[in-house]
Amino acid sequence: MITQTEQTEISDLVDRYFRALDARRFTDGWADGFLTEDIRMQTPLGAARGADAVRATEEALRRYERTQHMASGIVADMDASTARVSWNALMVHVHHDGMLFMVGGRFEAGLRRVADGWRFSRMTVQAIWTQGQPPLGIGEPAARQPSATRVG
């Protein structure tokens, strides 16, 4: 059974992680407060582990001028030192030319309790729907993508 305090700590971790992604301050060690050293990530861009997962995350976000990640419906189940968490996400990506790419998805994650709090040890991102043009090399060919939306 998860306590209200633990639910709050886990929800805070999700929110702080999304804000860190959108802030894009990728200094050395930025991910230490969110991810374990052996993190395993599976995203629509591929799979990666450890430091490679951190670099892949940074590279994916640099494809865009701006992003905004929003989480809702955070559900956690835990035992003594690990937790399983899932949440819905709306991810808005602004291409460098101002066009939008939006994703509605679901995150599934494993968390591990470390000395100073919870950290993600596993994370899977599943896109449920998309709108707009994904970055090159992702998804359907450009000719088959829905029309993009420009923002100012």
End-to-end CA distance of the chain: 46
DSSP per position, 20-66: HHHHT---TTGGGGTEEEEEEEEETTEEEEHHHHHHHHHHHHTTEEE
With bands split at pLDDT 50, 70 and 90, how would you rate the model's confidence at 141?
A: very low
Domain hosting residue 140, numbered range:
4-150
Neighbouring C-beta atoms of residue 13, cutoff 10 Å:
22
Cα-Cα-Cα-Cα torsion 52, 53, 55, 59, nearest 10 degrees, comes to 130
What CATH number corresponds to the domain at position 79? Answer: 3.10.450.50
Cα-Cα-Cα-Cα torsion 136, 57, 103, 83, nearest 10 degrees, comes to 150
CA distances from 16 to 21, 45, 79, 145 (A): 9, 22, 23, 32
Q: What is the pLDDT of residue 79?
A: 87
- Asked if residue 151 has pLDDT above 70, the reply is no
**Least confident window among 89-98, 102-111, 129-138:** 129-138
Report how many domains make up the chain.
Answer: 1
Q: What is the pLDDT of residue 138?
A: 57
